[in-house]
Structures are given as C-alpha cells and as structure tokens.
C-alpha cells in the first residue's frame, strides 16, 4: 500500500490533472504491486490555512507518502525512487511554478490489512494473483494471522 496524501492550494489541480497525476503515481508501483494498492488523496487547503515559516502561502504543495507493501532497504533504491517520484510530480507541480516537498513513511508489513484480508507476501503466487485480478481475495493461512 502506498498512499499519497497531496495537500495543495485550492484550484491547483483540475479533475484531469488529478487523474493524470494519480496515473503517474500508480505507474511508479504498477510493475511490482497490484494497482489497487495505490491510493492518492487530493486535499485542498485554503491559503489562510496553509502556513510555511509562519507565513500564509498559496503556492505550496505538501505530500505525505505512506509505504507498507514494500520498503526501500538501500540508499540506492531510495535515491532511485526519489528520482522517479520527482519526475512523476514535475509536470504537475514543479513545471507549474509551485513550491513543494514530500516525505515517505514506511510502516511494518505486519500492521496492514485490506478489507479484512492479510495481504500476501511480496512475490508470492497469491500476490501475483492479486496483481492480475487487481483486487483483494483470500490468500489462505495468512488471512487468519
């Protein structure tokens, strides 16, 4: 489960922008995860409710990314992911002159459930089935863990 929470100025993104950016974000993960794992939430924030350094702002995008399905165990993997995330965001944020930042939290895989099912372990036949079906379904013994 990656979940991207995108806090942005009111009107910064059209519905078409949101769809395009969420597709670009999903593409970051789609080679190895079921697409339904990827969530993107767009949260408009009024300028009088968004402050940076004690000053009201109307051109700042803050992104909070939660990872559970996979972790990034090496500096090289983390650097490559940051590079790919920056590229996915660029047309929607940087290229529009918005200021932005993000961070990534990684949560223990054991603290995760989808619709009452324990997600299958990475690379297992059950996970491949979830990716192929693009939906959660029972996985056997782990679902009762």
The verdict on residue 123 lying in a domain is no
Each residue's pLDDT tens digit, 109-127: 889 998 888 899 888 998 9
CB distance 101 to 62 below 8 Å = yes
CB distance 61 to 12 below 8 Å = yes
**Whole-angstrom Cα Rg for the chain:** 17
- Other Cβ atoms within 10 Å of 21 Cβ, number: 20
Question: What percent of the chain clears pLDDT 70, i.e. is strictly above it?
Answer: 95
The verdict on residue 20 lying in a domain is yes
CB distance 106 to 85 below 8 Å = no
Question: Which whole number is the average pLDDT over 120-143?
Answer: 82
CB distance 33 to 69 below 8 Å = yes
Q: What is the pTM of this model?
A: 0.90
The verdict on residue 144 lying in a domain is no
The verdict on residue 137 lying in a domain is no
pLDDT for position 52 = 93
pLDDT for position 138 = 78
The verdict on residue 139 lying in a domain is no
Counting the structural domains of the chain, the total is 1
pLDDT for position 62 = 98
Domain with 42 in it: 2-112
Each residue's pLDDT tens digit, 76-91: 999 999 999 999 999 9
Each residue's pLDDT tens digit, 27-60: 999 888 999 999 999 999 998 999 999 999 999 9
The verdict on residue 16 lying in a domain is yes
CB distance 27 to 83 below 8 Å = no
pLDDT-based confidence at 143, cuts 50/70/90? very low
| CATH code of the domain in which 107 resides | 3.30.429.10
CB distance 38 to 25 below 8 Å = yes
20 backbone dihedrals φ, ψ, rounded to 5°? -60, -45
């Amino acid at each position: 489960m990656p979940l991207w929470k995108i806090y942005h100025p009111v009107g910064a993104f059209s519905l078409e922008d949101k769809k395009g950016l969420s597709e670009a974000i999903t593409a970051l993960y789609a080679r190895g995860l079921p697409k339904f794992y990827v969530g993107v939430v767009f949260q408009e924030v009024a300028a009088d409710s968004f402050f940076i350094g004690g000053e009201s702002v109307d051109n700042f995008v803050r992104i909070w990314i939660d990872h559970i399905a996979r972790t990034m165990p090496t500096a090289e993997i983390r650097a490559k992911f940051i590079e790919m995330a920056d590229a996915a965001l660029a047309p929607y944020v940087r290229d529009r002159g918005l200021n932005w930042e993000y961070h990534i939290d990684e949560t223990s895989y054991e603290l995760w459930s989808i619709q009452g099912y324990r997600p299958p372990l990475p690379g297992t036949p059950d996970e491949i089935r979830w990716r192929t079906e693009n939906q959660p379904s029972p996985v056997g013994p782990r679902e009762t863990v």
